[in-house]
Each structure stands twice: as structure tokens, then as C-alpha cells.
Chain A
Amino acid sequence: MEKYFQMKIDKYIEWMPSQTIFRCFIYWIVIGVTFFCSSTTAKAQLNPTFKGYLKNLSGVNFTSDFKDPQWNNIVHNRIESTWKLTTNLQLQADLRARLFTGYTVNNFHEYGTYLASDGGFVDLSRNLIETQRMIFNVQSDRLHLSYELNSLEINVGRQRLNWGKSMVWNPNDLFNNYAYLDFDYEERPGTDAIHVQYSWSFASSIDVGIKLADRYDQAVYAAMLRSNIGTYDVQLIGGKYEDEFVIGGGWSGYLKNAGFKGEMSMFFDDQLKNKYLNASLGADYMLSNGFYLSGEILYNGGYDQDSNEIKGLTDPPKATNLFIAETGYFLNVSNSISPLVNASLGILGSTSESIYIFIPQTSISISEDIDVLILAQLASGSLMKSYTTHTNAVYFRVKLSF
């Protein structure tokens, strides 16, 4: 046992220089981007492409009987930029700037600290303005170099590694899980990682990912083998997830005319004890009248009753504990009323805990570049009520894409 800990410490010491190198690398990119952005000659040579959006999200939280409204607002600007450094080398640098006002800012003074905490290996989140009435936060969730040579691709920096197959819960996503209820973050979080992919047929590849962290037991080392068997895309994963080991797999294919996908991950410690399984299973089907049905179930074997917090619903969960209950289900029906209007109704809940969240939403395309979203998250059940009195939320969002 002692030997094992000594080994861990040794690894941690080995780990140190690479941390510094990686941090320097990221900051070098930040400086590089700033320099290039300000240089018109570089712009002309590198031919960068920019896209993004400006959106305003207003939300009101109510009690279960729709009383005591608490209003919050976020003005959100996202800029995504791609820079072709050479034929094979590309830089992706995205920035999200958000201005928060309203009830939460006014009443929770630690909210600024929460927003400024980056959670990544390199701190790329700053509150540029922080008063009692507003917080202006700027964060980069994608900042990486990509090198591509034929079938080989190497990404270094803050990036998104999508190893998930399911829609709501992803036991295979060892790097950057996301919270389904955080609907306003479509791009989903990134992770500070080194990622190498080699592919040899249209859907076959081997991926190796390393998520960097301050401590060895917070890092992730994992590999994934992907292939296509018949009409199924399948994948196998394995590696070290923080202080546990993991093996698993996922698939997406067809069951008759329905889409059928799923993921499972078995986590265990180095003594091969404390094994538990996280698994999700989902299907989707489109009726001939245009109604789109989708559903997913979760078994969250890593559910930890003690660490049970409401923020687990809207903050990215860990692959080891994906939900605030041991089981979860999500059912959704959506329909395009016209090509411009889509409406859907979802329910997120659990069979093992008393929690139900109804999610009706409508999205409307106002023009080529302007969209409106009206969405509600109406929660009930004793589990939810034990956390908050304001269980209902209604949101209105206008988004201008450019």
C-alpha cells in the first residue's frame, strides 16, 4: 500500500513539469490570439473566420404556486474564431462574454466568485465588472490548436471532446459532461486536454485523450476505439478517470425504424473494489405526422446521496455521478408547427426519488438570423422542494446569430 502511494507521489512529481508547459502553452495562445487580432496583416494572411451570436435571456423564478417572482437577466455575446496558421495547423479561439443582472446578482454575493471560477486546468474566466448590481464575465471555452495530417488529428488546449452518444446523460463522456437543464449553453463546456485521433475508415478511429489537472488523481487518461458494425456505430472506452478506473462502451444504431443508442461505463478502484455501473439507454422515433418522440433512461450507479446538491442539475455533472438520483428518465415529444416554429414538451424525472421537471418550449424563427425561445422548467416532487422554494422557472430568449 505504501508502495502504491509512493508511486502516486512519484507520478505527481513527474506530472508537475507538464503542467507548467501546458499552462504556458495556453497563455501563449492567448497572447498570440490577442496579437493576431490586433494585426491587420496577420488577419489578411491567416484569413480567420468569425461567427457568433448575441442573445438576451430573461428568466423569472416562481414558487410552486407561481408567486414571489425573482427576475434574472443575461446578455450574452459569443464569438467563435478559426485561424488557419498553415495548411495543417489551425487555431480555434472562442470567447463568451456575459452580463448578469437581477435577483441572483443582487442577493448572492458569492455569485461573482462562482462565475469567475473556471473549473479548468488553466484559468480562462474573468469578471471584468463585478458590482452589487451586475457582473460582467468573460470566459474562453475553446482555445486550442488542431493539427491534421491525413488520418491523424491532434488537438491541444481547451476543446470539447465528445465521447457521448446519448442525448441527456453520457456515462462515456469522461472529459466534459454537461447538464441537460442548462439549455442556454448549447456549445457545452470544453476541457483542457491533449487529444489524438487516428482514423482508418469512414467511422473507425482510435482516440486518446488526456485531461490535465492540478493533481494526478484529478486528471483523466482515456482511450476510445470507434467502429461501425452493420448499421451500428459502436465504441469502446477505457482509462483512468480521476482516482478511479473505467471501462465502457456505447452505440447508436437502429431498432427497426427507431434510433437506438446507449452508453455504459463501469467504474472501479485500483483494488478492483467499489465497482459500479452508470448506463443510459435511449430511443427516438418520428411519427408519420411529424411528431418526434425521444426518450432516455439512466441508471446512475455512482449516485452519492451525501454530495447531493441542486446545482448538479444545472452544473456539469461528473461521469461517475450523472444525476441527483439513482435512476433517471427523460421523455420528450416535439413537433414542427411550421418550418419556423417548433414546440416540444419534455419531462425529466426519476423513479427512485420524488422529482419531476416539466419542460415545455417553443422556438420561433423571426428572420434568417433572429430566433426566439420561450421555455419553462416546472419542477415538483419532494426532492426538489427540499432544495428550493422557487421550483418553477420561465425563460424568454432572443438570439441574433452572425
Chain B
Amino acid sequence: MKLFFKAFLVIILVLTHSFEVFAQDATEIIRRSDAHLRGESSTATLSMTIVRPSWSRTMELKSWSRGAEFSLILVTSPARDKGTTFLKRQNEIWNWVPSIGRSVKLPPSMMMQSWMGSDFTNDDLVRESSVVEDYVHELIEITTLDGHDVYVIDMIPKPDAAVVWGRVRVYITTQDYLQLKSEFFDEYEELVNVMIGEEIKVFDGRRLPSKMRMIPADEPGNETIIEYKDLSFSVQLSESFFTVQNMRRVE
């Protein structure tokens, strides 16, 4: 009887503990995935293709970032836009237009508008909201997606968070915390965008999806594809790299 009681206690403890783990896990999974994705500093060479039913346009970019607060993006192709840079510091964006040699500060009302005609908004670039801090996370299930075991997690924005979505459902691999898919819903529970991460490659020792596709739900045939050619986490970039002066110097 004593033994049975002990066993029962252990089971209860294990169960309650595992319930706790399960609940904490959702946030912890997001935290790990986010850390895995961002790193401290990173530099990247990438392309962005805007796909529409009857045409497509590709842009080549270079980017430098430090945490979520600082980033600098340089357009290297097409010729028309070559040398154009975008600087993000916290929640502000400056745009350097090389042909006129001038930097322009974007008004906040422009944040929700398309970034260079793509399916990404300016806000996607500068978003200060933290996937860890600004959402409540709930683990829905563990399933498989494209041959990977994935956690399915619902992220609901906290009431005071500056987030435009009503809910974000993310699919994160159980093995190395890679985000394979995110579904963005508005406050009416309508699916707005789907972001898919695919073609996992090793960049600077980290496994990451090399291709991200942003697909608007209500516009068939439209999507924006971001493809990383090179991604490095070994460079240390100080805050002083992300300056208005440096916008015109980077190459």
C-alpha cells in the first residue's frame, strides 16, 4: 500500500511537472526558435522576388543586423535601385536615395505599407514587438510537416502589445527549433498571410530555412520569396555601424 502510494505520488509529481513543462515549453520553444533565428549580429546576402500572376521582379540585397533593434539593408540590384539603403534603429526607418544623395525619414503612417512593392510591410522590417515578450503562447499539438516533427503553437498578442495580428500560428521543428510555417490571422480570425520556410541549409554552422515565402491568403498567385545566398553570424557589429552616415558608405 505504501509502495502504491509512493508510486502514485511519483506519477502525480511527474505528471504535474510535465504539465508545467508542457505549458512553459510553448514560450521556451518560441524563445529558442527566436534566438536561433536572430543571433546577436548577422550579415546576409539575399534576393527578394515579388511574384504576381503575370510578372515577377527580383531584387538583390545585402543586410546587416544587430539584435532586433538595428538593421541596415542595401539594394545591390536592379540597376535602378542600386545603392538604396534602409536603416532601422529601434522603430524608426531612414531611406537613403543615392541618386539625390539624401536620406528621408519614413513617417509612422507608412509602416503598414508594402516594403518596396513586396508582400512585406515596412513594419515587418522594423517590428519592435518581440515574439517572446508580446505574446501568450499555447502549444496546440505536435505533428509532422514536410517530413519534420513540429510543435504547433498559437501566439495570441498580449492586450497592450503593439501587434496588428489577432493570432499567429507557428510550426517549429522539434529537433532544432526551425520555423517552417507561420499563419497570420487578423482580429476576425481571417487568415491574412502564410509564411513558409523551406530548403534548410547550414549557414555559418546553423541550420536554417534558406527560402522564405510570404503568401497573402486572399490574392492567389501572389507571393514574395526571400532567398538567403549567404548568412553569417560570426561578425560582431557595434551599434555605431547603424548610422545615417554609414547608409551611404556600405557596399
On A, residues with C-beta under 8 Å from B are 51, 53, 148, 151, 153, 160, 162, 164, 186-188, 197, 199, 201-203, 205, 231, 233, 252-254, 256-261, 284-288, 290, 292, 336, 338-340, 365, 368-369, 371, 401-402
Contact = CB atoms under 8 A, between A and B. Distances in A.
Contacts of A51: 79, 82-83
Contacts of A162: 100-102
A286 B249 contact: no
B58 interface: yes
A67 to B, nearest CB: 36
B245 interface: yes
Contact of B107 (A203, A258, A336, A338): A258
Contacts of B55: 340
Interface string B239-251: 1101111000100
Interface string B48-67: 00101001011000000000
A205 B244 CA distance: 10
Contacts, number: 96
A254 B94 CA distance: 13
Given A371-B80, A402-B79, A339 B50 contact: yes
Interface string B210-251: 000000000000000000000000000001101111000100
Please report whether the interface of chain A is mostly helix, strand, loop or mixed according to DSSP: strand
Interface stretch (B112-120, B139-147, B177-185): B112-120
Interface in B7-60: 50, 52, 55, 57-58
B50 A258 contact: no
Given A365-B57, A369-B78, A202 B106 contact: no
A160 B79 contact: no
A292 B105 CA distance: 14
Interface of B: 50, 52, 55, 57-58, 78-80, 82-83, 89, 92, 99-102, 104-110, 112-114, 116-118, 239-240, 242-245, 249
Nearest to A399: B80
Contacts of A288: 112
Given A203-B244, A257-B108, A368 B58 contact: yes
A257 B109 contact: yes
Given A186-B100, A288-B112, A259 B106 contact: yes
Q: Which of B55, B92, B108, B116 has the most CB of A within 10 A?
A: B108
Contacts of A256: 108
Given A233-B105, A290-B114, 8 more contacts: A51-B82, A153-B245, A160-B101, A259-B106, A292-B110, A339-B57, A340-B57, A371-B80
